């Protein structure tokens, strides 16, 4: 049985999404952690970046802030488990489970470890969706509790990583090698942001980096779309990709072909 103090461990999340089908196998419940060390220009969850409790700008038309506009809440492991357990039948029928996402789960070490441990002890399939920017020791401990890692990789090049995410990527690349050296299954998630992550040099940088890994992970292509733009407005944040168009299917196929030259397989990629 998981220790009582772990069950009472609390963290800050901004959403629990049920019936999720894009965050790992089967039907899943995704727990979105609040706080991320990166600030990707294309982030679909800009409300996740700041670590604290915060709320949307008042709706100027209505002149008030509804409680539903709060972007975060503090929850204990027990409270999350109560919501997660409601859908156990769907996980069992679909091969699904729970996904720790964000934001960045590695930013809340005690909470992410306690939640992953609690889920694992209940025989729930656990997926960790991470940017890889966090403590290597914590990641090592989490790898023992989770069944799958979705590892986001944006750039192999440090300068471009810093330009478009605000942080260098040395820690991320070290953690990528750490994951590759363990047994836990993992996949790469590569955001296709036209003109930014998909230049020939960027693709070759990612391709040669992944080809050098022992396990040569599969890559999930995540095509850019602009659906988060309205959220930026609500948060009073600048949206730096205004007018950018999603990649075409043909372009995504060309990216897959380029990665295949490095012996890498891709999935996804429907614009
Ligand atoms: S790593 Fe993910 S959550 Fe963090 S800023 Fe980038 S896209 Fe957003």
Tell me the pLDDT tens digit for each residue of 221-247: 999 999 899 889 888 889 999 999 999
Query: Which ligand 1 atom is at minimum distance from the Cα of 38?
Result: 5
Indicate the pLDDT class of residue 70, thresholds 50, 70 and 90: low
Q: Is residue 2 in a domain?
A: no
* 258 occurs within a structural domain: yes
The verdict on residue 85 lying in a domain is yes
38 lines ligand 1 (CB under 6 A): yes
Q: How far is CA 190 from CA 27, 88, 177, 265, in A?
A: 22, 30, 16, 12
Q: Could you tell me if the CB of 45 is within 6 A of ligand 1?
A: yes
| Pocket lining: 112 vs ligand 1, CB cutoff 6 Å | no
* pLDDT of the residue at 158: 97
pLDDT at residue 89, as a whole number: 97
Question: pLDDT above 70 covers what percent of the chain?
Answer: 91
Residue 154 has pLDDT above 50, yes or no: yes
Angle between helices 200-211 and 249-260 (to 10 degrees): 40
Query: What would the two tokens of residue 108 be?
Result: 């809340």
Length of the chain: 271
The answer to whether residue 67 sits within a structural domain is: yes
Quick check: CB of 103 below 6 Å from ligand 1?
yes
Name the DSSP class of 46: G
Q: How far, in Å, from the CA of 266 to the mean position of ligand 1?
A: 21
CA 198 to chain CA mean position, Å: 19
Q: Is 150 in the pocket of ligand 1 (CB under 6 A)?
A: no
What is the distance between the alpha carbons of residues 154 and 131, in angstroms, rounded to a whole number?
A: 9
What is the predicted pLDDT for the residue at 55? 59
**Which CATH number is 263's domain given?**
3.20.20.70
Q: Which regions of 77-162 does DSSP assign to beta strands (E)?
A: 97-101, 125-130, 148-152
Question: In the chain, pLDDT over 90 holds for what percent of residues?
Answer: 82
Number of domains making up the chain: 1
What are 21-42's pLDDT values in tens digits? 999 999 999 999 999 999 999 9
Average pLDDT, the chain: 91
What confidence score (pLDDT) does residue 65 get?
38
Query: Which residue's CA is minimally distant from atom 7 of ligand 1?
Result: 43
- Is 107 inside any structural domain? yes
How far apart are alpha carbons 50 and 73 in whole angstroms?
Answer: 13
Name the residue range of residue 21's domain.
7-268
Across residues 84-107, what is the average pLDDT? 97
CA of 63 to the centre of ligand 1 (A): 30
- Ligand 1 site, residue 49, Cβ cutoff 6 A: yes
78 lines ligand 1 (CB under 6 A): no
Domain assignment present for residue 46? The answer is yes
In this structure, the residue with its CA closest to atom 3 of ligand 1 is: 103
Residue 116, in any domain of the structure: yes
Instruction: Measure 228 CA to ligand 1 centroid, in angstroms.
Output: 12
Residue 1 placed within a domain:
no
The residue that leads in pLDDT, 54 or 191, is: 191
Q: Which of ligand 1's atoms lies nearest the C-alpha of 46?
A: 8
Ligand 1 atom nearest the C-alpha of 42 is 7
- Output the residue whose Cα is nearest ligand 1's atom 6: 40
104: which 2 tokens? Answer: 């960045």
Tell me the CA–centroid distance for residue 201 and ligand 1, in Å.
Answer: 22
Ligand 1 nearest atom to the CA of residue 152, by list position = 1
Is the Cβ atom of 131 under 6 angstroms away from ligand 1? yes
Asked if 4 contacts 100 with a C-beta cutoff of 8 angstroms, the reply is no
Helices 170-181, 136-143: inter-axial angle, 10-degree rounding: 30
In this structure, what DSSP letter does residue 52 have?
S
């Amino acid at each position: 049985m998981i220790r009582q103090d772990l069950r009472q461990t609390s963290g800050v999340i901004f959403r629990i999404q049920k019936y999720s089908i894009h965050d790992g196998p089967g039907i899943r419940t995704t727990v979105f952690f609040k706080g991320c060390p990166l600030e990707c220009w294309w982030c679909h969850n800009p409300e996740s970046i700041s670590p604290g409790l915060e709320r949307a700008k008042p709706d100027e038309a209505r002149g008030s802030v509804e409680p539903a506009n709060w972007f975060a809440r503090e929850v204990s492991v027990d409270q999350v488990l109560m919501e997660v357990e409601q859908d156990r039948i769907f996980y069992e029928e679909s091969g699904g489970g729970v996904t720790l996402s964000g934001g960045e789960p590695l930013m809340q070490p005690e909470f992410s470890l306690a939640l992953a441990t609690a889920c694992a002890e209940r025989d729930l399939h656990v997926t960790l969706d991470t940017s890889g920017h966090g403590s290597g020791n914590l990641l090592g401990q989490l790898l023992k509790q989770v069944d799958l890692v979705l590892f986001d990789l944006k750039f192999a090049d440090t300068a471009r990583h810093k330009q478009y995410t605000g942080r260098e990527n040395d820690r991320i690349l070290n953690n990528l090698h750490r994951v590759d050296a363990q047994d836990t299954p993992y996949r790469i998630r590569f955001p296709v942001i036209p003109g930014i992550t998909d230049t020939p040099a960027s693709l070759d940088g990612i391709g040669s980096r992944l080809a050098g890994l022992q396990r040569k992970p599969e890559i999930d292509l995540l095509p850019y779309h602009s659906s988060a733009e309205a959220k930026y407005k609500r948060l009073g944040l600048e949206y730096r990709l205004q007018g950018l168009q999603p990649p075409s299917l043909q372009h995504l196929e060309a990216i897959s072909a380029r990665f295949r030259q490095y012996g890498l397989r891709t999935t996804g990629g429907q614009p």
